[in-house]
Amino acid sequence: MQYRRCGKSGLMLPAVSLGLWHNFGDVDVYDNCRRILHLAFDSGITHFDLANNYGPPPGSAEETFGRIFKQDFHNYRDELVISSKAGYLMWEGPYGNWGSKKYLITSLDQSLKRMGLDYVDIFYHHRPDPDTPLEETMGALDLIVRQGKALYAGISNYPADKAEKAITILKELGTPCVIHQPKYSMFERWVEGGLLDVLEKEGVGCIPFSPLAQGLLTNKYLNGIPEDSRAAKSTGLLQQNQVTPEKINQVAKLNEIAIERRQTLAQMALAWVLKDHRVTSVLIGASKPEQLADSLKCLDNIEFSADELTTIEKILR
């Protein structure tokens, strides 16, 4: 495993981190979740990423992780970086969503209880709140760190201008923003429009999520939509209307480059995100240990030739 410095902080993160967004909720495959976490840790993945609403249902991913942590990882707490977030709908009523101090502090208390932890290493505000003053939201993150409930503060899904303001407020409060978690992949490149430059200037780390575009940047959809895929489910984040002939054509051409690089398409897509020095770590999900093991092989080759990058750009355009 490679470890990279998170911005200008002292925190080191593995180049590949494990996200528990899917597959760790209220499931009947508890042993499968255990095997995934064991393989991750044994492979050098020290960072596990959660959020209050991960499941489904909301809260269940933290509960599952908490059971496994108590059973298997309690003695290794000092070797783990565990993160959680709040910002999306968690419970009904006026205090269960967005970015008020009331919601963030109450939600983190609930998360710590579900996971059986005294603190998380990183606590994020999950998305910008259009109504709550940014000073209140960042003030809540500052208070949480000062209370010892989190070691570091982070933000997620913030566009460049709001991220810069949030980073400035936290810096003035004395609790620097250590990391930003945006959506970034070959098919989702908005972070290149200014956010990555802001993070580099301010010395803030970056840990992209959905680097495989919800599975689109894999071999799974080369021959249509499999019955067991996310796109086949009406509730999935990847919908059938997103798996267009144009996208499949792009995926097929990208797959040809991956084969030439002796990688799977998924491995190349992860390596493509990691090639940028401003990216600290990349978040991956896994539904089974074999999938995680395959993704980890992206680290065998994260270098791209100029010709490869030029060809990839032509395909993506």
What CATH number has the domain bearing residue 172? 3.20.20.100
Comparing CA positions, the residue from 69, 53, 64 lying closest to residue 25 is 64
Token pair listed for 185: 């992949």
pLDDT for the residue numbered 229: 57
Contacts of residue 314, defined as CB under 8 A and 6 or more positions apart, other chains included, come to none
Contacts of residue 30, defined as CB under 8 A and 6 or more positions apart, other chains included, come to 64, 67, 68
pLDDT for the residue numbered 221: 79
Alpha carbon distance 313, 282 (integer Å): 21
Residue 246 lies in a domain: no
Contact 108, 82 (CB under 8 A): no
What is the per-residue burial (b if ≥16 Cβ within 10 Å, else e) of 57-69? Answer: ebbbbbbbbbbbb
pLDDT for the residue numbered 244: 85
Domain assignment of residue 26, given as a range: 3-221+277-301
Residue 312 lies in a domain: no
Beta partners for residue 81, in sequence order: 47
Identify whether 57 is preceded by a cis peptide bond (ω within 30 of 0).
yes
Residue 25 lies in a domain: yes
Residue 229 lies in a domain: no
pLDDT for the residue numbered 170: 98
Q: Quick: pLDDT tens for 57-112.
A: 999 999 999 999 999 999 999 999 999 999 999 999 999 999 999 999 999 999 99
Residue 254 lies in a domain: no
State the pTM of this model: 0.94
Residue 243 lies in a domain: no
pLDDT for the residue numbered 249: 92
Residue 227 lies in a domain: no
User: Any idea which residue has 């930003």 for tokens?
Assistant: 180
Which regions of the chain are under pLDDT 50?
232
Indicate the number of domains in the chain. 1
Q: Quick: pLDDT tens for 246-277.
A: 899 999 999 999 999 999 999 999 999 999 99
pLDDT for the residue numbered 225: 62
Residue 97 lies in a domain: yes
Largest separation between any pair of C-alpha atoms in the chain = 54
pLDDT for the residue numbered 222: 84
